[in-house]
Structure 1
Amino acid sequence: MARCVVDDQWPLRRAAERFQVSVSTARRWAGRYRAEGEAGMIDRSSRPHSSPRRTPTRTERRIIKVRVLRRWGPARIAFFLRLVPSTVHRVLARFGLARLAHLDRATGRPIRRYERATPGELVHVDIKKLGNIPHGGGHRVLGRAHSRRNARATTTERRNNRAPIGYSYLHNALDDHSRLVYSEILPDERKDTAVAFWLRAQTFFAAHGITVERVLTDNGSCYTSRAWRDTLATAGISHKRTRPYRPQANGKVERFNRTLLDEWAYARPYQSEQARRDAFPGWLHTYNHHRGHTALGGHPPASRVPNLPGQYT
């Protein structure tokens, strides 16, 4: 196009129509070719030579200092420094500072993400405590007052003039490599319950061709018991526990707990605890076999299971 305008003397409008660009674009490229020749045809950054309205360097340093020392988000930093949140966000992005979700809040260092190379090399185990739903619905749908009336109608037990309807305990075992999950809703988190759950979970993984080598848990009493230790030792499984007050070390199953709450436990207004429990097996099957996982490139956990349909013995 530049040669047509400069060498062949085409009108700018004709060249612009021929190459399907605007007249101003044709003028700009022709001017660069006329002034610099073929060297002027090389792509250049669109960044301006000067930015007079850019945030001052001193302000940028203050933003970075507050972020590093206090680990606040853009909105809170903006309120503290009397700036606009979008300005703070732009400065943080310009200097490549990690999102708070990618940082360890205690140390300020980026979280190290890892993935075991083969299924069964590491299985994360955890328990999620979940309040039961009274018959007729709970407070998330009906409000506190109506929920209390439903609770009183559900149980005859009274504590401090209230009707407790108890809790459910979701015992979860998640394979680190495939993210395949075995989960059960159980009445408590005692050691005998946890041990029995693990034996069933181990059978589940073995049926899918996964030999468990190591188990990672928190420091709950059921996981520090002799019964749990002896059960894993008998199966030749190594047991590792997270450091106290470091749930991010068991982050994969913790993230599954959040997904479980968002997509099953609180996904729709259940009218009873039994209705929610009835929906759990179907949701768990969808999670394992059909729901795309971002860490697996959009594929479900079943895509990484070596013996999914049980074709091997």
Structure 2
Amino acid sequence: MSHVNAALTPRARLKIGRLIVEQGWSVARAAERFDVSWPTANRWAQRYRECGPAGMTDRSSRPHHQPTKTPQPTVRKIVHLRWKQRLGPVAIADKVGVAASTVHAVLTRCRLNRLSHVDRATGEPIRRYEHDHPGSMLHVDVKKLGNVPDGGGWRYVGRQQGNKNRSDTSGKAGNSHHNPKMGTAFVHTVIDDCSRVAYAEIHDDETALTAVAVLRNAVAWFAARGVTTERVLSDNGSCYKSHLWRDTCAELGIVHKRTRPYRPQTNGKIERFHRTLAQGWAFRRFYNSETVRRKALPAWLHEYNHHRPHTAIGKIPPISRLTNVPGQYN
């Protein structure tokens, strides 16, 4: 496409070509008529003779022949070092014997210029998956967060005042060093693989009994929105390996899948949600107590599900996918 300040648009180029080739105008007269130079008018007239109306659009400026282009064996070696050893352009250039700028150009061309495009564990390109309809797979996991002391935590009030707030918070047991234990908030989260709709509950433990109760509530919550749960994917936490969890899945007619050990990437959707949860709710603003923070979770979840655009699903809110699946979930 021509730039905004171009003297000739594709339509004007076609007019000048027809005037010169078909109506017999001189190149100088046509150039004066369209207020362009003689070589410009002649170029588009010649292009019209050769290609007709289809030749009036801009061509690629890429050269037909590149004698100094990086050889393919060198490109393959650069890509191999990037995948397998996760080296930067300077380190790769030292091993391959080319300029670092050349390595960066190759990595950009191969879409490997960012390490986030490569799996951290295997060095292979990231391959994402997505189930085709809501309810086909639910991801479950637990996010652990330290409770907020009365008066605020150290992230906002500083270490010294934060430690004082911990000491002044009542009802907390002390440890052997006489420091108060604030306890842990266990956020049990459930994510639908297709829509990214999230369900979460905060509890004081991560036992099998609690995990099963959250699963039942989540299945009922999704069912109220027209979604039937078929599978659930979890890590190898003790609560998800219990007989109670197994029996509950069988009772609900849900197939239980587990991730490979030490492979959180398999459950990456919920791991990424936990990062968003921490940034958007847990540590987003100052909370003067744990009670206040817990009360803020439902409002944030509503914002996440109903209003926040999600880049992985076309920049629409997750709840939209529960209502836009053809023939279902109306």
Taking a change above 3 Å as real, the CA distance of residues 10 and 65 of structure 1, as seen in their structure-2 partners, is same
d(CA) in 1 for partners of 2:216, 2:72 = 60
**2:287 paired residue number:** 270
2:196 corresponds to 1:176: no
CA displacement at 1:224 relative to structure 2: 0.1
2:228 corresponds to 1:211: yes
**1:199 paired residue number:** 216
d(CA) in 2 for partners of 1:128, 1:297 = 26
Q: Name the amino acid aligned to 1:303.
A: S
Matched residue count: 302
d(CA) in 2 for partners of 1:80, 1:146 = 51
Q: Name the amino acid aligned to 1:272.
A: S
Alignment deviations for residues 110-168 of structure 1 (CA, whole Å, 9 cap, x no partner) = 23222222221111111011112222222222222221111111145332242221211
Residues 249, 256 of structure 2: 8 Å contact kept: yes
d(CA) in 2 for partners of 1:62, 1:181 = 42
d(CA) in 2 for partners of 1:4, 1:191 = 82
Taking a change above 3 Å as real, the CA distance of residues 235 and 34 of structure 1, as seen in their structure-2 partners, is closer
Matches within 5 A, 1:27-66: 27-28=39-40, 30-31=42-43, 33=45, 37-39=49-51, 41=55, 43-48=58-63, 63-66=78-81
d(CA) in 2 for partners of 1:212, 1:32 = 62
3-state SS of the aligned residue for 2:256? strand
* Runs of 5+ consecutive residues of structure 1 not aligned to the other structure: none
Residues 73, 100 of structure 1: 8 Å contact kept: no
2:26 corresponds to 1:8: yes
Taking a change above 3 Å as real, the CA distance of residues 99 and 27 of structure 1, as seen in their structure-2 partners, is same
Taking a change above 3 Å as real, the CA distance of residues 84 and 270 of structure 1, as seen in their structure-2 partners, is farther
2:107 corresponds to 1:95: no
Q: Name the amino acid aligned to 2:250.
A: A
3-state SS of the aligned residue for 2:319? helix
d(CA) in 1 for partners of 2:105, 2:130 = 32
Alignment deviations for residues 199-226 of structure 1 (CA, whole Å, 9 cap, x no partner) = 1112111111111111110000000001
2:166 corresponds to 1:148: no
d(CA) in 2 for partners of 1:165, 1:289 = 33
Matches within 5 A, 1:232-243: 232-243=249-260
3-state SS of the aligned residue for 1:258? helix
> TM-score when scaled to structure 2?
0.78
Percent identical pairs in the alignment equals: 50
2:173 corresponds to 1:157: yes
Alignment deviations for residues 153-203 of structure 1 (CA, whole Å, 9 cap, x no partner) = 114533224222121111011111222211001111111111111111121
CA displacement at 1:229 relative to structure 2: 0.7
CA displacement at 1:280 relative to structure 2: 0.8
d(CA) in 1 for partners of 2:263, 2:116 = 15
3-state SS of the aligned residue for 1:288? helix
Q: 255-264 or 86-95: which moved more?
A: 86-95
Q: 222-231 or 27-36: which moved more?
A: 27-36
d(CA) in 1 for partners of 2:51, 2:146 = 70
d(CA) in 2 for partners of 1:162, 1:145 = 13
**1:188 paired residue number:** 205
d(CA) in 2 for partners of 1:228, 1:86 = 54
**1:227 paired residue number:** 244
2:154 corresponds to 1:139: yes
d(CA) in 1 for partners of 2:180, 2:224 = 42
Pairwise CA RMSD of aligned residues?
Answer: 3.3
* Runs of 5+ consecutive residues of structure 2 not aligned to the other structure: 1-15
**1:120 paired residue number:** 135
3-state SS of the aligned residue for 1:305? helix
**1:302 paired residue number:** 319
Taking a change above 3 Å as real, the CA distance of residues 226 and 35 of structure 1, as seen in their structure-2 partners, is closer
Taking a change above 3 Å as real, the CA distance of residues 30 and 284 of structure 1, as seen in their structure-2 partners, is same
